[in-house]
């Protein structure tokens, strides 16, 4: 039986799985993300023990995604210092010559949602995770967008809300970028407590929605995706969806005169269907496609 290995590599945990060719999950292993020296041997052993025939990886980044580059599949300038410059894909393969592919965690997630989830059958979609950080994956016409490096739409610059007590935000790189103003830690810094413990009616969620709506409006204006999927821990706060939808429509102000936005925005800005395994399923698909290209 052909087996496809999949890894979703995150900053706090690594999720590894083995799938059949058809996508049935056979095994799963979750490990905390420590240093490469501590975490990698168990991952290499897992895929070797299951004799996977191909491997797909969706990873935190930034990553080198150029297949012609000698450092293809390496993590590049991450603030997670032990992983900076680490040749993740090469080390995972442990010298085995099997088909393998890597993409960002969020690109893997958007791929999975297009193939099997909430964006099925669309030609274009964006998946954004709003959690400890903010990251976005972009899918257009059959492929995820990599471009110069890969999209980093979590760091798009946004206008501070007039009532935001912390308008610079908490990103060490940028003043007033989306991640610095709207990821979970930004909410925590704004209210001086854990975002999970706030009541739904807390005014910080209107500020939060204002930032996410700016992102959605900017995505509509730049990429014109057919659907935007919002996932991650912060989006488990379900009241955010309606606020984001309303503020997105208000910001666009009728300029993008499409019924998808002016009449049916509740079907346009939606939760992902495969959360929390969108990235893992996407990693399987990357492995599957690498396998199909080789045979
Ligand atoms: P990660 O981004 O590390 O993979 P998550 O996507 O689970 O993790 O996001 C974690 C963040 O989401 C934390 O900052 C947490 O406070 C926030 N969060 C989780 N649940 C909620 C909630 N119901 N309301 C608001 N924020 C939440
Ligand atoms: Zn930033």
Task: Give the Cα separation of 186 and 283 in Å (integer).
Answer: 29
Q: What is the pLDDT of residue 79?
A: 85
Task: Give the Cα separation of 280 and 287 in Å (integer).
Answer: 11
* 25 contact partners, CB below 8 Å, separation of at least 6: 17, 18, 19
Q: What is the pLDDT of residue 295?
A: 84
Q: Is 80 in the pocket of ligand 1 (CB under 6 A)?
A: no
Average pLDDT, whole number, for the chain?
Answer: 97
The average pLDDT across 141-146 equals 96
Q: Are 131 and 232 in contact (CB under 8 A)?
A: yes
- Ion ligand 2 neighbours (CB, 5 A) are 155, 171, 173-174, 177
Which tens digit of pLDDT belongs to each residue from 168-183? 999 999 999 999 999 9
Token pair of 82 as six digits: 């032990």
Task: Give the Cα separation of 265 and 270 in Å (integer).
Answer: 9
Q: Are 87 and 74 in contact (CB under 8 A)?
A: yes
184 C-alpha to center of ligand 2: Å? 14
- Which of 108, 76, 96 is CA-nearest to residue 9? 108
Which tens digit of pLDDT belongs to each residue from 5-23? 999 999 999 999 999 999 9
Pocket test for ligand 1, best of 234, 237, 241 (most atoms within 8 A of CB): 234
Q: Is 233 in the pocket of ligand 1 (CB under 6 A)?
A: yes
Task: Give the Cα separation of 129 and 189 in Å (integer).
Answer: 19
Q: Is 184 in the pocket of ligand 1 (CB under 6 A)?
A: yes
Which tens digit of pLDDT belongs to each residue from 34-69? 999 999 999 999 999 999 999 999 999 999 999 899
* Structure-token match 């900017």, residue found: 218
Q: What is the pLDDT of residue 78?
A: 87
Q: Are 101 and 289 in contact (CB under 8 A)?
A: yes
Statement: residue 152 has pLDDT above 90: yes
């Amino acid at each position: 039986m052909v087996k496809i290995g999949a890894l979703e590599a995150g900053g706090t945990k690594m999720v590894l799985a083995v799938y059949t060719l058809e996508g049935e999950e056979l095994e799963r292993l979750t490990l905390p993300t420590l240093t490469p020296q501590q975490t990698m041997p168990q991952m290499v052993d897992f895929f070797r023990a299951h004799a996977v025939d191909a491997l797909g990886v969706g990873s935190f980044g930034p990553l080198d995604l150029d297949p012609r580059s000698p450092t293809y599949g390496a993590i590049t300038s991450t603030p997670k210092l032990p992983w900076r410059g680490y040749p993740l894909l090469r080390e995972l393969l442990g010298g085995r010559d099997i088909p393998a592919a890597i993409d960002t965690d969020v690109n893997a997630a958007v791929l999975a949602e297009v193939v099997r989830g909430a964006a099925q059958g669309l030609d274009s979609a964006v998946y954004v995770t709003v959690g400890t950080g903010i990251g976005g994956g972009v899918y257009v016409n059959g492929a995820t967008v990599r471009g110069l490096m890969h999209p980093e739409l979590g760091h798009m610059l946004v206008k501070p809300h007039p009532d935001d007590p912390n308008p610079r935000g908490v990103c060490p790189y940028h003043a007033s970028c989306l991640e610095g103003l709207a990821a979970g830690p930004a909410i925590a810094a704004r209210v001086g407590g854990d975002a999970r413990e706030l009541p739904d009616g807390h005014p910080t969620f209107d500020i939060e929605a204002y930032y996410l709506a700016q992102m959605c409006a900017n995505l509509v204006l730049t990429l014109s995706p057919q659907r935007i999927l919002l996932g991650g821990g912060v989006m488990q706060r379900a009241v955010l969806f309606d606020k984001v939808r309303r503020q997105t429509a208000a910001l666009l102000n009728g300029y993008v005169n499409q019924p998808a936005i002016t009449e049916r925005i509740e079907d346009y800005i939606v939760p992902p269907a495969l959360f929390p395994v969108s990235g893992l399923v996407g990693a399987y698909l990357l492995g599957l496609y690498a396998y199909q290209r080789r045979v």
